[in-house]
Amino acid sequence: MNALIFSRFSKRLTLRFATLLLIVSECTAFAQTPPPVWTPSKPIRIIVPITGSTNDVLARLIAPKLQEALGQTVIVDNKPGAGGNIGADFVAKSPPDGYTLLVGYNGPLAINQTLFDKMPYDPVKDLAPITLAVTASQYLTVNANSGFTSLKDFISKAKANPGKYSYASIAVGSASHLTMEMFKADAGLDITHIPYKGSGAAVTDLIAGNVDAGFFVPGNVQQFVKDGRLKLLASSGKKRFVSTPDVPTIQESGYKDFEASSWIGFLAPGGTPTNVIDRYHSEIVKILQMPDIHNKLVDMQFEVIGSTPAQFKGWIQSEIPKWGKVIKATGAKAD
């Protein structure tokens, strides 16, 4: 009798244990099920925080391809001002629903944290990185008729005439601004800063001779160098550009620790769901590697990156103190 009772109890226990295992298994499977692939249901806006720039060029290269991939209209919307802060803040305060993106760069994502006394947003907390898209060194550029024959000549004349010369930047707090401030400090130069709202106006004034110099990414000045209106004196990278092998780096010219790059990436409002970030990351990285897009960016002397969101976040976090050190050392201000 006891054996029969034990047998029935054992069967019931086994059945209950099996049921419990099934429930645990189903719960674990449910917990491990990835969120569904996000699909947009209305138009998307890409905010460019500076006009007439390579940010705008990149956004307009990516937008049609992204529209095709996602099946929704993608609009590029320029919101310049305050060194990129206006556009970045707009995105930071937008709903985290996947319908507003930022094409961000050094200024509003790293430099401005130190350059401005007060910031309306925190680039690390209030924006969600998608991918670091491209990086580029810059050219120290002058008017072809300026009389400057080389970097050495430029430095010599600027030192002999403190305050006489001026330089253009594409915006307050841009790499264009801070790279020259860093160079001024290293070379001991007194050159007046003239900030613009985008590269278009800055380069136009350089061509017209209204300013004397400026640091610009290749895409801003290449065509004007080719047609003889602008001249390149040096580049800010660690190595010479393949397309301009005769243009030395500033490091080669005796400033061994000098190196500065400009970069552009895509971000969403902070708090945007992971599956939305993942979808954008997947699509944008694919687009960056498409032959027509990739070749266009390489022709503009960009290095195509396509990082992960985590890598881009780490990049931003490392760039903030890097540029902060430059700002504090040079005394640069948000004019």
DSSP state of 38: P
Topology alike, domains 44-135+261-330 and 139-235: yes
Q: Express each pLDDT in 126-165 by its tens digit.
A: 999 999 999 988 999 999 999 999 999 999 999 999 999 9
Q: Please state the domain extents for the chain.
A: 44-135+261-330, 139-235
Of residues 168 and 31, the one with the higher pLDDT is 168
Average pLDDT value for residue range 156-181: 93
Predicted pLDDT at 267: 98
H or E element at residue 152? helix 151-160
H or E element at residue 5? helix 2-32
DSSP state of 49: S
Residue whose C-alpha is closest to residue 262's, from 169, 135, 132:
135
Average pLDDT value for residue range 267-271: 98
pLDDT value at 9 more than 90: no
Work out the percent of the chain whose per-residue pLDDT is above 90: 72
Q: Where are the alpha helices (DSSP H) in 188-246?
A: 199-208, 218-226
Query: Residue 27: pLDDT band by 50, 70, 90 thresholds?
Result: low
Predicted pLDDT at 15: 53
Query: Residue 33: pLDDT band by 50, 70, 90 thresholds?
Result: low
The torsion region of residue 108 among left (phi > 0), alpha (psi -120 to 50) and beta comes to: alpha
pLDDT value at 38 more than 70: yes
pLDDT value at 166 more than 90: yes
3-state secondary structure of 207: helix
* 8 A C-beta contact, residue 175 and residue 330: no
Predicted pLDDT at 53: 80
Average pLDDT, the chain: 90
- The residue assigned the tokens 């024959």 is 149
Average pLDDT value for residue range 16-39: 60
Average pLDDT value for residue range 23-41: 67
pLDDT value at 10 more than 90: no
Distance CA 170, CA 179 (A): 12
Beta bridge partners of 215: 140
Region of poorest pLDDT, from 26-40, 159-173, 282-296: 26-40
For 262, phi then psi, to 5°, come to -105, 150
Structure tokens at 295: 């070749």
DSSP secondary structure letters along 255-306:
-TT---EEEEEEEEETT--HHHHHHHHHHHHHHHTSHHHHHHHHHTTPEE--
Distance CA 199, CA 187 (A): 25
Average pLDDT value for residue range 7-32: 52
pLDDT value at 67 more than 60: yes
Q: Which residues of 126-152 are buried (b: 16+ CB within 10 A; e: fewer)?
A: bbbbbbbbbbbbbbbbbbbebebeebe
Query: Residue 261: pLDDT band by 50, 70, 90 thresholds?
Result: confident
Q: State in words which class domain 44-135+261-330 has.
A: alpha beta
Return the beta strands (E) in the chain as ranges: 44-48, 74-78, 100-105, 127-137, 139-143, 166-169, 192-195, 213-216, 230-235, 261-269, 303-304
Top mean pLDDT of 12-16, 82-86, 277-281, 320-324 is at 277-281
Query: Residue 29: pLDDT band by 50, 70, 90 thresholds?
Result: very low
Does the domain at residues 139-235 carry the CATH identifier 3.40.190.10?
yes
CA–CA distance from 144 to each of 113, 228, 279 (Å)?
A: 36, 7, 46
The torsion region of residue 52 among left (phi > 0), alpha (psi -120 to 50) and beta comes to: left
Distance CA 256, CA 283 (A): 39
pLDDT value at 258 more than 80: yes
Predicted pLDDT at 329: 85
pLDDT value at 1 more than 50: no
pLDDT value at 223 more than 60: yes
The torsion region of residue 253 among left (phi > 0), alpha (psi -120 to 50) and beta comes to: alpha
Average pLDDT value for residue range 11-21: 52
pLDDT value at 113 more than 50: yes
Strand 261-269, strand 127-137: pairing: antiparallel
